Amino acid sequence: MGENHFKIVFEGALLPGVDITTAKLNLADLFKSDVTAIERLFTGRPIALKRNLSHADAQTYLQALSKTGIDARIEAETPIELNLADVHDHAPASSQAPFADPQSPYAPPRAPVGEAVAEFATLKPFSFDGRIGRLRYLAWTLVLSTVLLAVCGVFALVALALIGADSTAGLILGSLLALILFVGFVFVSIQITVQRLHDVGWSGWLWLLNLVPFVGSFFPFVIMVVPGNDTANRYGPPPPPNSTAVKVLSSLWLIVIALVLFGSLAGGLTAIREEYKSAAQSSYDSSSVTTDEIELEVEPVPNSSGDAAEEAQPPVDSAKE
């Protein structure tokens, strides 16, 4: 009995969290083909991507295909029994092996399968390409912020020395250098954020949301919270596992952020309370009036009936007088 053979079957299903565009691009890169040819695989019908494989080779192919984001499977091929009576002397219509057409998406890869898709992406701190996870994003941001603070401290000391020496040329040159360094730090910060967006599967242009009023106040927290794709997406393979240093630095940065938020909240509540007390005291002082400030005007009241009678005397008859 001969060795059992297996085939790789694909019906258009994708792994969780992988969009169809990403899967097509990864397959095109794996098979060294164009996306138009790859689209023929996504018809919903079972398609044998590779036949006559041993079980070990089938596992290798399946692992490589899984990295592209598609959900393929291994099936055993039914052995074919031939009788000598069924063999004819005529030559086959085409001597070309199945799937030998280089334009066919079913053709065997023209490159080693194991090298087509890397298991993890290469870290590129100073590039817009690549992907980084949440913890590495926090760790790199902490390092960048620490370096920025150190450089700002050095420039502040140099500026004070130049001001004391009354060096106008030195101040101008130092200001230009500080501006260049600040732009460089901002540029690197944008690169780190873009790589974090790539890990989620989002476009790097979403960084511009940081410039939108109100949205930019909470969008950085969204970047820190949203998890990335576990498998390869259109921006490449997933980032490598986090090292111990990355975990420690990210934890420190989270503690710093929590302390800053707590301090800001406590300071805001204290200011509101003091403002409320001041307003209440001012309102009380303005509404309190002493009795010395009240002046009452009282009309005199007649004290006796004689006075009233005197006021009511009848008129005098001038003829009798």
Q: Using alpha carbons, select from 248, 16, 242 the residue that is nearest to residue 134.
A: 242
pLDDT top residue among 162 and 74: 74
Q: What residues contact 127, with CB distance under 8 A and at least 6 apart?
A: 191, 195
Confidence band of 321 (pLDDT split at 50, 70, 90): very low
Are the CB atoms for 98 and 104 separated by under 8 Å?
no
Cα distance between residue 233 and residue 14, in whole Å: 12
Q: Looking at the structure, do residues 72 and 141 belong to the same domain, yes or no?
A: no
| C-alpha to C-alpha distances, 175 to 22, 161, 187, nearest whole angstrom | 46, 14, 18
State which of 239, 259, 279 marks the end of a domain.
259
Q: Looking at the structure, do residues 138 and 238 belong to the same domain, yes or no?
A: yes
How much of the chain exceeds pLDDT 70, in percent? 75
Q: Which domain holds residue 166?
A: 134-259
Average pLDDT score over residue span 53-74: 85
DSSP letter (8 states) at residue 239: P
Token pair in block for residue 220: 């950085």
Confidence band of 300 (pLDDT split at 50, 70, 90): low
Q: In this structure, is residue 39 part of a structural domain?
A: yes
Q: Looking at the structure, do residues 216 and 180 belong to the same domain, yes or no?
A: yes
Report the pLDDT value the prediction gives residue 209, as an integer from 0 to 100.
Answer: 92
pLDDT top residue among 104 and 133: 133
- The DSSP secondary structure of 166-234, one letter per residue, reads T-HHHHHHHHHHHHHHHHHHHHHHHHHHHHHHHHHT--GGGGGGGGSTTHHHHHHHHHHHS---SS-BT
pLDDT at 176 over 70: yes
**Rounded to a whole number, what is the distance in angstroms from the first to the last CA of the chain?**
170
State which of 244, 259, 274 marks the end of a domain.
259
Q: Looking at the structure, do residues 108 and 178 belong to the same domain, yes or no?
A: no
pTM: 0.51
Cα distance between residue 174 and residue 81, in whole Å: 85
How much of the chain exceeds pLDDT 90, in percent? 16
Q: In this structure, is residue 279 part of a structural domain?
A: no
Q: Count other C-beta atoms under 10 Å from residue 91's C-beta.
A: 7
Q: Looking at the structure, do residues 144 and 44 belong to the same domain, yes or no?
A: no
Q: Using alpha carbons, select from 52, 27, 30, 51 the residue that is nearest to residue 39.
A: 27
Q: Looking at the structure, do residues 248 and 140 belong to the same domain, yes or no?
A: yes
Q: Looking at the structure, do residues 140 and 253 belong to the same domain, yes or no?
A: yes
Average pLDDT score over residue span 96-120: 51
pLDDT at 298 over 80: no
Q: In this structure, is residue 298 part of a structural domain?
A: no
Lowest mean pLDDT among 3-7, 56-60, 128-132, 249-253: 3-7
Q: Looking at the structure, do residues 109 and 138 belong to the same domain, yes or no?
A: no
Q: Looking at the structure, do residues 61 and 139 belong to the same domain, yes or no?
A: no
Are the CB atoms for 30 and 117 separated by under 8 Å?
yes
Sign for the pseudo-dihedral over CA of 13, 14, 16, 19: negative
Average pLDDT of the chain is 77
Lowest mean pLDDT among 68-72, 148-152, 268-272, 303-307: 303-307
Q: In this structure, is residue 216 part of a structural domain?
A: yes
Report the pLDDT value the prediction gives residue 55, as an integer from 0 to 100.
Answer: 84
Q: Looking at the structure, do residues 246 and 163 belong to the same domain, yes or no?
A: yes
pLDDT at 174 over 50: yes
Domain count, the chain: 2
DSSP letter (8 states) at residue 90: S
Report the pLDDT value the prediction gives residue 96, as an integer from 0 to 100.
Answer: 46
Cα distance between residue 18 and residue 14, in whole Å: 6
- Helices 20-30 & 55-67 angle (0-180, nearest 10): 130
Are the CB atoms for 18 and 71 separated by under 8 Å?
no
Model confidence over 240-282: pLDDT tens digits? 888 999 999 989 988 988 898 888 888 888 888 888 888 777 7
Q: Looking at the structure, do residues 180 and 247 belong to the same domain, yes or no?
A: yes
Q: In this structure, is residue 159 part of a structural domain?
A: yes
Q: Looking at the structure, do residues 168 and 110 belong to the same domain, yes or no?
A: no
Report the pLDDT value the prediction gives residue 320, as an integer from 0 to 100.
Answer: 44
